[in-house]
Structure 1
């Protein structure tokens, strides 16, 4: 059975409310067994795949209802909407919403929506028709999603992983890690990750600057497995997501605080550039749940 859905977030009607997003908690259900990661041949040398392309086209005019502060060409804005949904904005005001669904939505319509299949709180089959690119992290034929989309100054690609099914088995390629290249940054959204990464998958992801990490330790990968994934990706900054209570979040942070600095933000948004990334890897906790 799927994760218990929450009520829709109230639409944001003024910029002042953006920094006060409140997401209702999700019910915790028992998790199934973890599937083994698929076997893979020896990978090629890990590629430095960032930064992505920068478009020469002019930025589009945006509605007056949502006009955030302008970003420098090397910056990206990341806003935690809740659960596993983030709004990522580029210098040309291209907007990407991760794990876009019917329950937890960003305050503005995204240009690009990524989704994953594990639960209905990670996808919708009825996305707003105004979304330019709807990227499912799975395919109905069981093959990898294989997305590689460029739009203005944003590049989004996907790396397939497996998920558990409700019978305790494995659905191949049911989840995608989406790598979003914005400004000079590579941002990896791990989605509903259920297993540690193979060397081939790590090579396909490449070097990343920011990792959006599910930290519940039950529906997704267990705590020790997620710590292994974080260590393998070697990103300077990690932002927790997909936790069901402060207890769930604190349990994960307690596990990692011996090896990583932990910082708590007062606001759900942060503006980042490669030059402002921490010298020592750390976790940045944005408000939301």
Structure 2
């Protein structure tokens, strides 16, 4: 355990080393276990709780709008829902429903969760308006085979309005201690719950119990069978709720007292 802890610390220190860029702005990174946060003296905390708007577009795409009006579309495959063109889109390399080679040229920042050059993992460290965006790479199975694509997926993390929001992408593996440390704290997490193309339901529940987010929003399910199995498995440790409207509004002050699975609007209605 001591050796694992040292490896985790080395991984986090490497991530925060000089030249790593805006990673110094992270308030969500945690060292091994413990509540420590990285808070540079120049960073001003939000004085009044600001609201982040989240709309489920479908499959694994969410449209996230920050208080300053930055629009992010996750797992963008060419459609980002109604409204203006997103400022930022994120993608992973699972298959064509999670990325596009032809993003709208009006999108200012296209963040691929894999490195097309193939000479190492994709690493993103970006400040856009009031949101800081980073990623933690993970391996995926190659589509249609048992082969593994190293760092073919990314867990994208959006830090805004004192919230830590994570999108697990097309997660195919439970988290290593190093990945868990680099993720840090999550308040809201988007989790794939199909139970077959990504992690099996039991393993996904294990990951979410470890992450301890206040709100889990399920995504990437085909029909309601896997979703219902997921909700049944989560019901011991989490409240089960249903979003009352298309747009979910979240602030640091509105997080539930007990961890909650929040099913997107209209899914089971």
Please give the TM-score of this superposition, normalised by the length of structure 2: 0.81
SS at match of 2:97: helix
**Change beyond 3 A, Cα 1:283–1:142:** farther
Partner of 2:91: 115
For residues 258 and 207 of structure 1, what CA distance do their matches in structure 2 show?
22
Question: What is the rounded CA distance, in whole Å, between the counterparts of 2:67 and 2:100 in structure 1?
Answer: 27
Residue matched to 2:12: none
Greater shift, 165-174 or 110-119, is seen at 165-174
Please, what is the CA RMSD of the aligned residues? 2.2
| 2:164 is the counterpart of 1:186 | yes
**8 A contact 1:112–1:131 mirrored in 2:** yes
Contact 1:149/1:155, CA 8 A, preserved across alignment = yes
State the shift of 1:268 in Å: 2.2
- Counterparts of residues 213-224 of structure 1 (less than 5 Å): 213-224=191-202
2:167·2:190 contact (CA, 8 Å) conserved in 1?
A: yes
- Equivalent residue number for residue 172 of structure 1: 150
Helix, strand or coil at the partner of 2:202: helix
Give the match for residue 26 of structure 2.
none
CA contact (8 A) 2:80 2:86 kept: no
What runs of 5+ residues in structure 2 fail to find an aligned partner?
Answer: 10-30
RCO higher in structure (CA 8 A, sep ≥6): 1
Name the structure 2 match of 1:137: 113
Aligned match of 1:92: 68
Q: Which runs of 5+ in 1 are unaligned?
A: 1-38, 56-71
Aligned partners of 2:49 and 2:253 also within 8 Å: no
Partner of 1:42: 7
* Aligned length, in residue pairs: 233
What secondary structure is seen at the aligned counterpart in 2 of 1:121? coil
Contact 1:210–1:236 under 8 Å retained in 2:
yes
Shift of 1:254: 1.2
CA distance in structure 2 between the partners assigned to 1:147 and 1:218 by the alignment: 28
Relative to structure 1, is the Cα distance of residues 267 and 50 closer, same or farther in structure 2, using a 3 angstrom cutoff? farther
